[in-house]
Amino acid sequence: MKILDFLHKIELLFVSRPTVGGLEISYNAIRYLLIRGSDTFLKVTVPLSPGIIENSRLANKELFISALKSLHAQITPLAKPLNVVVIIPSALVYTQSFSVPVVEKKQLEDTIDLNLQMLSPTRVEETYYDWQEIKENKGWHI
């Protein structure tokens, strides 16, 4: 056995590698996909009844939670945590790039928050929002 193979087996004993699958939430279904290696995968779909998600909003929380529990039970026992990366349809996500005036770094976050409040199509208090800097224009200094 090569030393690298041996060290890899030792690493597997001490390093935690949680299983993480992809979870897609759409208007009509919740889908879970887990890929293990190059040839093993697990795919589970739970249909959502009409009216659970309406107009990009969760309309029936109890039925949605029931569907999530059903999906979870098909993958692993409910008592065991399930790690996922959640994907939601782009129709439910609002994105926009915008420019802000040149401000000091300590004022940048407040300036961005104000712009997000002004540009958001929904009330910011009812929304999850985040931002990232795309590009800094260094040629616009006054």
Q: What are the tens digits of pLDDT across the range 41-70?
A: 889 999 999 999 887 788 999 999 999 999
pLDDT of residue 1: 62
Q: What is the pLDDT of residue 45?
A: 96
84: closest CA among 34, 135, 40, 136? 34
Domain locations in the chain? 17-89, 94-142
Burial class (CB in 10 A: 0-12, 13-18, 19+), 42: middle
Tell me the per-residue pLDDT of 87-137, one tens digit each, with 9 for 90 and over.
877 766 778 888 888 888 888 889 988 888 888 888 878 777 788 888 776
From edge to edge, which strands make up the β-sheet containing 29-36? 40-47, 29-36, 20-25, 83-87
* CATH class for the domain made up of 17-89: alpha beta
Whether residue 141 has pLDDT greater than 60: no
Question: Quick one: pLDDT at residue 32?
Answer: 94
Per-residue pLDDT, 10: 82
- Whether the Cβ atoms of residue 102 and residue 141 lie closer than 8 Å to each other: yes
Q: Are 129 and 112 in contact (CB under 8 A)?
A: no
